[in-house]
Chains A and B, each alone.
Chain A
Amino acid sequence: MKAVLDHPVFFLPDREAPYVLKHVYERIVDGCRQDMIFDFGDSHLFVHVDEDTDSFVVDFVDSVFFPEAACSKIDSTAPWHRWLGKECGWTWTAHNSQGYLDSFMMSFDGVVPNVLIYAIASSAEVYLITPLETLAELAARRGK
């Protein structure tokens, strides 16, 4: 068994121009967040949950995104609002021990991961990544 992938998954092709996050959309189907779209203006990342395997199918599309009626813009909702206008720094992909690509991370305005997106029960769930030190600081402030 090798420790690294032979063919690592790069969500965003390498280029000179930054991938600046313009909008974020989601499509909810029967209560499940089936799709997420990260709109970079001139291109977008289409994230789809395969309901049969709870894994992700991710497509980079090198063209403008035109949302369908079923897509909701979630720009103003947490946590996305804080990253609009920021550059998507790096992305990380993770295959679980069963071999499925079921999670990935993204960073905005830096290369420290900010958000983890995980596929479960046919839905993409969004987790915020927060350093332990920050959590401890917040807890201390609340305790005062």
Chain B
Amino acid sequence: MPLTKAAQKVLGQLANEATKTVAEVVRERGGNASNVRKTGHWSNKSLGEAAEAAAAGDESAKTAVKIAKQADRLGQKY
């Protein structure tokens, strides 16, 4: 099922990865087990499902999406 516009907006460029599980996306983007754990029960669900729930206001889904986006840690700047 195609993503709603709101869910697409929530995901940004990650909308292309919507059919993968949250855990897969986190891992592929360089995240570790700790990052996957922080996505909670969303880890085994698709990123698209998490985005739809986030768009509907689900706080844990918002967190899961954010962790997926930021799984790739930026270079050590400090």
Contacts and interface: CB of A to CB of B under 8 A. Distances in A.
Interface of A: 1-6, 29-32, 50-55, 95-96, 98-100, 102, 120-123
B74 A51 contact: no
B12 interface: yes
Contact of B10 (A2, A5, A99, A122): A122
A121 B70 contact: no
Contacts of B10: 32, 51, 121-123
Chain B binding surface SS class: helix
A121 B54 CA distance: 7
Contact of A2 (B6, B51, B55, B78): B78
A5 B77 CA distance: 8
Contacts, number: 71
Contact of A120 (B62, B71, B74, B75): B62
B65 interface: yes
A55 B5 CA distance: 20
B12 A51 contact: yes
Contacts of B54: 121
Interface string B6-37: 10111111100000000000000000000000
- Interface residue tally on B, bucketed by range: 20 to 34
B13 A32 contact: no
Nearest to A96: B70
A121 to B, nearest CB: 4
Ordered nearest first, which 8 A-B pairs have the shortest CB separation?
A99-B74, A51-B12, A30-B9, A121-B62, A52-B12, A98-B70, A121-B54, A31-B6
A52 B69 contact: yes
Given A30-B8, A30-B9, A121-B10, A53 B70 contact: yes
B6 A100 contact: no
A32 B66 contact: no
